[in-house]
Amino acid sequence: MNCGPASNSFILRDTEIVPLSEPAVCLNDAAIAQGHGLFETVKAYRGRPYALPDHLARMSRGADALGFKAPALDEAAASIRRVLEANGLEDSPTCRIRLTLTGGVESPSLFYEASACPFHPERAKVITGP
């Protein structure tokens, strides 16, 4: 079960909707060069992000530690709506939204990505080992 974005999907890079196939992060971005970046993954049900304030609070703590500014709740909610609409997922029963904050080249960059996720089965077999 692939839960990633389709190759023909769109992301929100800072404030611009761009095709996923378009290069989004430079090789000299601090996230690539030094590992300075963080992400949050949020599940959405029919276009409504679950526990978004909690996810943003956690992202804000990580961003503070890196010297970045995390998005405000209203900014994030609007950006999530935009990326869901761009990908036709605003009415999807369930989807995954990933917010990625990188150190950028000269200043931090913020990316939003959304992809459909299948429902997980109600039951599954588990095998444990030593």
pLDDT at 43 exceeding the cut of 90: yes
- Check pLDDT > 70 for residue 21: yes
Tokens, residue 80: 């999530």
Q: What is the dihedral of CA 106, 76, 92, 90, to 10 degrees?
A: -100
Distance between CA atoms of residues 103 and 101, nearest Å: 7
The string of DSSP codes covering 42-59 is: EEEETTEETTHHHHHHHH
**pLDDT above 90: residue 78:** yes
Residue 1, pLDDT > 60, answer: no
Is the pLDDT score of 39 beyond 90? yes
**pTM score:** 0.82
